[in-house]
Structure 1
Amino acid sequence: MFKNYKKIFFIGIGGIGMSALAKYFLNKDKIIYGYDILRSDICISLEKQGSKITYCQKNLDFILDNNLFKDKESCLIVYTPAIKNDNIFLNFFTNNNFNVKKRSEILSKICEKKFLVAVAGTHGKTTTTSIISHILNNTGFNITAFIGGISRNENSNLIGGEIDSKLIIVEADEYDKSFLKLSPNIAIITSVDMDHSDIYTKTSSLKKAYHQFISKIASDGVLIIENKALQELGNINFSNIITYSFSEDTDFRISSYEITNRNSSFNFINSNSKFFFTNEIVFCLPGKHNILNALASILVCIQLDVKKEDIVKSINSFLGIKRRFEIHFESKNKVFIDDYAHHPSEIKETLETLFKMYPNRKLTLIFQPHLYTRTRDFMNEFADVLSLPNHLLLLDIFPAREKPIRGIDSSKLLKKCRNKNKELVKKETVLNILNKSNFDVLVTMGAGNISSLVEQIKNEYFVK
């Protein structure tokens, strides 16, 4: 499939999806080059594995020196839709007739003629994909898994891939309609909430894309879908459907759950009210949303005939994902948690879980909005959920791939928030502000570069 390519250049190599592909091809002894705007920990890790990366957008010499890409037929160029059209590398390779492909096209090629498990949904994709991958990897399955986050068990967003496997697990990303290039044998849909209005102008267009994704499932395959998502999508033209939720009118439902310390414990029953496990499962991630992610993962493993005792052992040994309700410090006086939530629904679920875990304690939230379009589209919803913490520190909007939208900024959002203690802050002033506040439960949250604050906060307050 990729035998003719000796060199692969990734434009946006530091992205979580792109870097997993780069690792995959490193395992196939390809020579990896790339560009990214920031030398992140992911990029540093790729460099240590032999990748050559430039961080200067105008550095065409990087690819022209030594005729690195003289032979076009042996070079593959991969880019992410987050890359802007004026990118100098993208234009160079396109204008010179190199073989230039989107990340989603390459991923779909890797998945061809494989048994594919694809996890779709506005929320919960990364957690669900990670749990499935951990269970299967932990029970001896030969898998390749592309994860949209860093598994704490493997310290990687790629599991397996060293040896060709017939079973692949991927996140089916709805952005740019990338998931429509996949043809899964087992598909999971965790949720269907409006997002990515730069791609989906109406809710109906988002729902249409999900129906198209379902139509790509193999005729003898199965769709595992959360009940609320099923209701959102309406009539589905597919026969083999398994539903799950907390409600009674589903094939599998959570029958009991409890948050104890850092963990969740739960059990579930089928439509005949029969318990699946004798005892409750202990799971490292708290919150009802995470319990549903775990249930969806278990249902996939049931389809693959994984033994019950192996599922339990693997769930118990699952350590979570970096930046998904990641507890960095916990004591009677101080707590520090980092989370990736960036959509109002996700923020609400995470905050509700925090209030249950730490009742009667003061919660300080440092939040960085992600994308101007998302902030514009959900301005009131963001204001509602961001009004819940005792103390709100709101950062500027992280633009990612977008240009500013006139009249849409964090100042406008802050004015709509109802917290008594709220302020607009710059990322570089956060530590000074925290020094003046007697914070109790501290949470950093967002999908942008707020993650770079985590180590700074840990070193300042929690590392002795």
Structure 2
Amino acid sequence: MRLSDVKRVYFIGIGGIGMSALARYFRYRGVPVTGYDRTQTDLTRRLEAEDMDIHYHAAPELLPPPADDLLVVYTPAIATDFPELMKAREGGYTLLKRSEVLGLISRDMRCVGVAGTHGKTTTTTITTYLMVTAGLDPSAFLGGIARDFDGNYVHGDSDWVVVEADEYDRSFLRLTPEIAVVLSTDPDHLDIYGDHGQMLETGFRAYARKIRPGGQLVVRYDIEEHFSGLENVMVSTFGIGRGDFCAQNIHVRDGAFHFDLREPDGHLITDLRTSLPGRHNVENAIAACAVTRLAGGDEDHLRAGLANFQGIARRFETVLKNGSLVIIDDYAHHPTELTAAITAARELYPNRTIRGVFQPHLFSRTQDFAAGFARALDLLDEAIIIPIYPAREKPIEGVTSQLVYGLMKNEKRRLLSEVQMLEATAELKDGVLLLLGAGDIDALVPRVVAQHRKPQKHDH
């Protein structure tokens, strides 16, 4: 099927962040969009307001009859025995994974693919914003809700497209990027890959081999060794104090990071500024700057874009600040990401108590990284762990949040239900509270915040 032949699209799991961006792509082109998701959320309500018809219970009868102009799109997060997916598989429908559709869209465009176990969404979004500021007019499929675009899909009129290149399910192997970024290659998704060596070989190295001849690979300096031997590809490294694109003279001024960027030819772009927290975000910004420069953006637009970039929902997002108490919402779901978020909080608020609530995401990830999660959470002054969010997975015997709790050394740690967590966080009067995880903890965030916006019972 050619995408130009598609006149109707049905999404199984339309409310996912990647799926909803695709839905918006088709709707923008005037294609009627319908679909299913498990629960109604702010995002699905917005899709409905954008004239998409969504239902929230399994209803195979709502699939239109198979037709040459109908495309059914699904996400791997949907269980293989889900009734609508089974009907689509067995009923003669044109059925494609989300990653396959993204691959078709980007195939005939100049694709920037941003890969890595951490930082993909932030770097993809900064890159898009810098390229827009520079007049390169890209389209983009983002893995989060960007404040600057008020959404996760950006429509552009050039042949550039920026996409988050996801290693889960080897989705990024559907892309053929002109410029590929690899931010990090830490172990993750071992339920898919088996071990870290296979993740590198059949995941990230295979992705780098998909770069078009004459294309560019932008990779963090300390993992360049994994990508030796690429043919017909220019390799550039980036980093803080190291790399072809190198941040120098980093300092914090007026609550923001400032740095100079030395480029491969020795040219220095001075006094770049980003208000994103944490040195990991300085690295993300360097990668985005590198891509924008390789794509033809000039340094004045780079400086303006980086200074004005507003960030992404659930990426170290300050959701309450009332003088004594700060609440920050973050998508961290890997030990490295937890460490980065907690470290950034300490850097911003050095004299405050740093507390955190963590919801582990997936039984398999909890099993693989329990010790890493424990070490990261021990960096908190006080930690609360709530039950695992299973997503697509069935329980694994012996794998619960207790596994992480039992490996921690922090004496001020608690294992609580979601209701108990809400009661505990309602008692807080000061310090910094981090709400951490990639599951449905985001649905609890407004309730945690609301507890500190309403008058307390003892107030008069």
TM-score for the superposition, normalised by structure 2: 0.95
Task: Choose which of 443, 448, 459 in structure 1 pairs with 2:450.
Answer: 459
Aligned to 1:60: 60
Structure 2 residue 343 is the aligned partner of structure 1 residue 352: yes
Aligned to 2:111: 116
Aligned to 1:127: 122
C-alpha distance in 2 between matches for 1:421 and 1:236: 49
C-alpha distance in 2 between matches for 1:141 and 1:412: 48
C-alpha contact 2:112 2:177 (8 A) present in aligned 1:
yes
Aligned to 2:155: 160
Aligned to 2:78: 83
Letter in 1 for 2:3: F
Task: Choose which of 178, 182, 199 in structure 2 pairs with 1:206.
Answer: 199
SS at match of 1:3: helix
Partner deviation per Cα, 1:248-268 (whole Å, 9 max, x = no partner): 3x2122212233454222222
Shift of 1:459: 1.9
Shift of 1:277: 1.8
C-alpha distance in 1 between matches for 2:209 and 2:129: 28
Task: Summarize the Cα distance change of 1:462–1:228 in structure 2 as closer, same or farther, 3 Å threshold.
Answer: farther
SS at match of 1:9: strand
Shift of 1:142: 2.5
C-alpha distance in 2 between matches for 1:351 and 1:440: 13
SS at match of 2:192: coil
Task: Summarize the Cα distance change of 1:18–1:158 in structure 2 as closer, same or farther, 3 Å threshold.
Answer: same
C-alpha contact 2:330 2:437 (8 A) present in aligned 1:
yes
SS at match of 2:80: coil
Letter in 2 for 1:240: M
Shift of 1:236: 3.7
Aligned to 2:269: 277
Structure 2 residue 37 is the aligned partner of structure 1 residue 46: no
Structure 2 residue 195 is the aligned partner of structure 1 residue 194: no
C-alpha distance in 1 between matches for 2:49 and 2:228: 50
C-alpha distance in 1 between matches for 2:264 and 2:281: 21
Shift of 1:284: 2.0
C-alpha distance in 2 between matches for 1:243 and 1:88: 47
Aligned to 2:458: none
Partner deviation per Cα, 1:127-151 (whole Å, 9 max, x = no partner): 1100011111223323210000110
C-alpha distance in 2 between matches for 1:351 and 1:62: 45
Task: Summarize the Cα distance change of 1:149–1:85 in structure 2 as closer, same or farther, 3 Å threshold.
Answer: same
Task: Summarize the Cα distance change of 1:387–1:60 in structure 2 as closer, same or farther, 3 Å threshold.
Answer: same
Structure 1 runs, 4 residues or longer, greater than 6 Å off: none
Task: Summarize the Cα distance change of 1:452–1:261 in structure 2 as closer, same or farther, 3 Å threshold.
Answer: farther
Letter in 1 for 2:388: I
SS at match of 2:197: helix
Shift of 1:61: 3.6
Letter in 1 for 2:62: F
Task: Choose which of 280, 296, 299 in structure 2 pairs with 1:289.
Answer: 280
Structure 2 residue 223 is the aligned partner of structure 1 residue 229: yes
Partner deviation per Cα, 1:106-137 (whole Å, 9 max, x = no partner): 11111112111110111111011000111112
Shift of 1:217: 0.7
Shift of 1:325: 0.9
C-alpha contact 2:359 2:437 (8 A) present in aligned 1:
yes
Partner deviation per Cα, 1:230-279 (whole Å, 9 max, x = no partner): 24x1534244110011243x21222122334542222222467x46223x
C-alpha contact 2:426 2:448 (8 A) present in aligned 1:
no
Which is further off, 251-260 or 11-20? 251-260
C-alpha distance in 2 between matches for 1:259 and 1:77: 49
Structure 2 residue 164 is the aligned partner of structure 1 residue 171: yes
Aligned residue pair count: 452
C-alpha distance in 2 between matches for 1:40 and 1:261: 36
Which is further off, 238-247 or 305-314? 238-247
Task: Choose which of 386, 389, 393 in structure 1 pairs with 2:380.
Answer: 389
In structure 1, runs of 5+ residues without a counterpart are: 64-68
Task: Summarize the Cα distance change of 1:417–1:281 in structure 2 as closer, same or farther, 3 Å threshold.
Answer: same
C-alpha distance in 2 between matches for 1:319 and 1:151: 8
C-alpha distance in 2 between matches for 1:215 and 1:444: 38
Structure 2 residue 180 is the aligned partner of structure 1 residue 180: no
C-alpha distance in 1 between matches for 2:454 and 2:291: 40
Task: Summarize the Cα distance change of 1:395–1:37 in structure 2 as closer, same or farther, 3 Å threshold.
Answer: same
C-alpha distance in 2 between matches for 1:139 and 1:237: 30
C-alpha distance in 2 between matches for 1:236 and 1:242: 14
C-alpha distance in 1 between matches for 2:364 and 2:255: 34
Aligned to 2:134: 139
Task: Choose which of 349, 359, 370 in structure 2 pairs with 1:379.
Answer: 370
Shift of 1:332: 3.9
C-alpha distance in 2 between matches for 1:269 and 1:166: 28
Aligned to 1:104: 99
C-alpha contact 1:267 1:275 (8 A) present in aligned 2:
no
C-alpha distance in 2 between matches for 1:402 and 1:261: 45
Letter in 2 for 1:181: R
Q: Report the identity percentage.
A: 35
TM-score for the superposition, normalised by structure 1: 0.94
C-alpha distance in 1 between matches for 2:240 and 2:199: 25
Structure 2 residue 331 is the aligned partner of structure 1 residue 330: no
